[in-house]
Amino acid sequence: MPSIAPWWREKLLAWYDAHRRDLPWRSTRNPYPIWLSEIMLQQTRVAAVIEHYGQFLRRFPTIEKLAAARESSVLAAWSGLGYYRRARMLRTAAKIILREHKGKFPTTAAGLRNLPGIGRYTAAAIASIAFGEPVGVVDGNVERMLCRFAGKNVVCEELWATVNVLIDAKRPGDFNQAMMELGATVCTPQAPACLACPVVERCATRGELARSEKPAPQKKREIHFSLLCRGANGSGKVFLRQRPGNASLMAGMWELPEVAARNGASKPAFRLRHSITVTDYSVSVWRECAIPQAEGRWFAISKLKTIALTGLARKILSKAQML
């Protein structure tokens, strides 16, 4: 790879200049919104991030506002993005930046890695995009593309060494974004668009590389929730329970009470599907007026937008036309 580095940079950056997507976080060098976008983009699709990114920045336009916010407000603004640990870490890191760095971000990948929620990839992405440090990044898209280009599965450390050789020292932020963008939009997991690829002439695979292992199959599970309401819809209330603070997933978030499966001929008010990591859920929602058995609270339907709801609770309440 070192011998083709100049060729790779030229091809990749010319392609990026002509085809880059106009994403909202690409119009700034301010580390705060760049950091926010990188954390949001972890395990979340670009389209979903675009929906939440602007809203989040309007609510917390500066790192000072984020550090001063209550955790429940940050979780509410994060609601719908999933993996809520990211939002908690974001707020914790904002407090550390204010307390220990006088409100200024560390400017190197090594310094950024000391902050909670910032791993090797995120540190390199922020350092290169916001501060111009020539450090490469390897995400799933870059890994797939480089393995196909090389025509073999390449081990992780070798990939990191490769991107650090390839990187363009004059435009490291653009180079890293171009690598990720090429993987995400051209060298896609299925049916890569090789004819549109700027490095096709030297690619060893030009298509999908045979996988060494099959992905784990999705598990299936049925779950039931109770939609307890009182009052007329305009001034009505809905009953929600809070997930325990020590829950491994979505701790402290609000959701509908889960209930046991119903027997007999009765039908749920509606059904929907929901996926979390490797599990596909078939969800039945039962509309009820009974006194709640679970611990929880009544919330005004008009206030639901300000509450830290789980993604599934949002989906159910939207389908019930309460959000």
Which residues are catalytic, by number? 38
Cross-strand bridge partners of residue 226: 286
In the list 23, 48, 203, 322, the residue contacting ligand SF4 (rule: CB under 6 A) is 203
Contact status: 159 vs ligand SF4 (CB under 6 A): no
As a whole number of Å, the end-to-end CA separation of the chain is 52
Q: How many CA atoms lie within 13 A of 42 on its CB side?
A: 21
Q: How far is the CB of 37 from ligand SF4 (least distance, A)?
A: 25
Give SS3 for 70: coil
Contact status: 154 vs ligand SF4 (CB under 6 A): no
> Token pair for residue 290?
């009974």
In the list 33, 192, 257, 311, the residue contacting ligand SF4 (rule: CB under 6 A) is 192
- Amino acid letter at 100? E
Go through the chain and tell me how many residues it has: 323
Contact status: 187 vs ligand SF4 (CB under 6 A): yes
* Residues 6+ positions from 208 with CB-CB distance below 8 Å: 148, 190, 191, 192
Contact status: 9 vs ligand SF4 (CB under 6 A): no
Number of residues forming the site for ligand SF4 (CB under 6 A): 14
How many other C-beta atoms are found inside a 10 Å radius of the C-beta of residue 57? 19
Residue 273 backbone dihedrals phi, psi, to 5 degrees: -115, 150
Contact status: 206 vs ligand SF4 (CB under 6 A): yes
Q: How far is the CB of 177 from ligand SF4 (least distance, A)?
A: 17
In the list 87, 97, 199, 316, the residue contacting ligand SF4 (rule: CB under 6 A) is 199
In the list 44, 72, 92, 205, the residue contacting ligand SF4 (rule: CB under 6 A) is 205
List residues binding ligand SF4 (CB under 6 A): 145, 148-149, 186-187, 192, 194, 197, 199-200, 203, 205-207
